[in-house]
Chains A and B, each alone.
Chain A
Amino acid sequence: GAVVSQHPSWVICKSGTSVKIECRSLDFQATTMFWYRQFPKQSLMLMATSNEGSKATYEQGVEKDKFLINHASLTLSTLTVTSAHPEDSSFYICSARGTSGSTYNEQFFGPGTRLTVL
């Protein structure tokens, strides 16, 4: 089946530093990837929609200058949390939407990245 990977799976950083999270579709192409965050015991919240070769679309209330998204290829999107602060500590999950064949229009989720900002 289609697999989405995220790297790193967890990261601890100091306040004020930037953290980059990678999301890769391993065996299929995805022109669209999605970034979510999840607070403990809460549902996933869509942060932004990332389209290959164009600017990401951010949901209301999500700071685009703080959460930089780059979707440089059909298999890779990155989320950079800039100048991270403790309130950015969360579980970040990406998903990739297949573009053809058996993966067409289906979303596949990555395993998530747990970010802790000290």
Chain B
Amino acid sequence: KNEVEQSPQNLTAQEGEFITINCSYSVGISALHWLQQHPGGGIVSLFMLSSGKKKHGRLIATINIQEKHSSLHITASHPRDSAVYICAVTADKLIFGTGTRLQVFP
């Protein structure tokens, strides 16, 4: 069993839809990261969370430390949001989930 699990693995949506990606982890952590990786491969750090909720533009990330669960929400999705979204937790090292591949169609 992976220490960091994401769901769904693949996700397709129509432009404008509200999207949720989930991340569960089984280890003690000091922080959780949401990363975005575009087809070219480069990685962008979207959020680093240790509690509560953060918002940046159309992106919202929440974390529940007691339940060891985090969600990434995208409001009013757009084709340019198409990417792989990766959840990673900081334990003794950074542990990555396997990613969620999102495709948003016009």
Q: What is the interface of chain A, defined by CB distance below 8 A to chain B? A: 34, 38, 42-44, 46, 49, 91, 93, 95, 105-112, 114
Contact = CB atoms under 8 A, between A and B. Distances in A.
A48 to B, nearest CB: 11
Contacts of B44: 109
Contacts of B13: none
Interface of B: 31, 33, 35, 40-45, 48, 86, 93-94, 96-99
Contact of B98 (A43, A106, A107, A109): A43
14 contacts: A38-B41, A43-B86, A46-B93, A95-B43, A106-B45, A107-B45, A108-B45, A109-B35, A110-B42, A111-B40, A111-B43, A112-B41, A112-B42, A112-B43
Decide if the interface of chain B is mainly helix, strand, loop or mixed: strand
Decide if the interface of chain A is mainly helix, strand, loop or mixed: strand
B45 A43 contact: no
